[in-house]
């Protein structure tokens, strides 16, 4: 399903950077687990197939919480508040949050 709202180039660049950071961490963990070096290309392919859809869904849910006024963007600077909301998205489910907000 395509992204329902168009993303600005700046927002897309920030998302790409966040994904790259996650892929680099994933590559390090994968290399340790496999006992060999793992290329960024290999790590990116695996991460995208396994985790990208879920990551995007959670990112969209957090953005929806901000756009709806349920969560202030400034609150994301507080790591404790951020963890609470991320746990909420995890527990309730990103699709459910998006559905609730669109009502």
Q: What is the pTM of this model?
A: 0.65
d(CA 77, CA 43): 29
The C-alpha angle 37, 43, 28, rounded to 5 degrees, equals: 50
Q: Give the list of residues 6+ apart from residue 102 with CB closer than 8 angstroms, or none.
A: 64
Q: What's the pLDDT score for residue 1?
A: 45
d(CA 59, CA 11): 12
Mean model confidence pLDDT for the chain: 80
Cβ(65)–Cβ(92) under 8 Å? no
Cβ(38)–Cβ(27) under 8 Å? yes
Q: What's the pLDDT score for residue 6?
A: 60
Between 42 and 67, the more confident residue is: 42
Cβ(26)–Cβ(9) under 8 Å? no
């Amino acid at each position: 399903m395509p992204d329902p709202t168009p993303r600005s180039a700046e927002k897309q660049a920030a998302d790409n950077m966040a994904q790259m950071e996650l892929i680099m961490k994933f590559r390090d963990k994968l290399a340790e687990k496999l006992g060999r070096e793992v290329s960024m290309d290999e790590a990116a392919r695996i991460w995208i197939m396994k985790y990208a859809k879920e990551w995007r869904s959670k990112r969209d849910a957090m953005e929806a919480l901000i756009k709806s006024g349920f969560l202030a963007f400034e609150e994301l600077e507080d790591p404790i508040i951020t963890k609470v909301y991320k746990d909420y998205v995890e527990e309730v489910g990103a699709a459910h949050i998006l559905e609730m907000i669109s009502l």
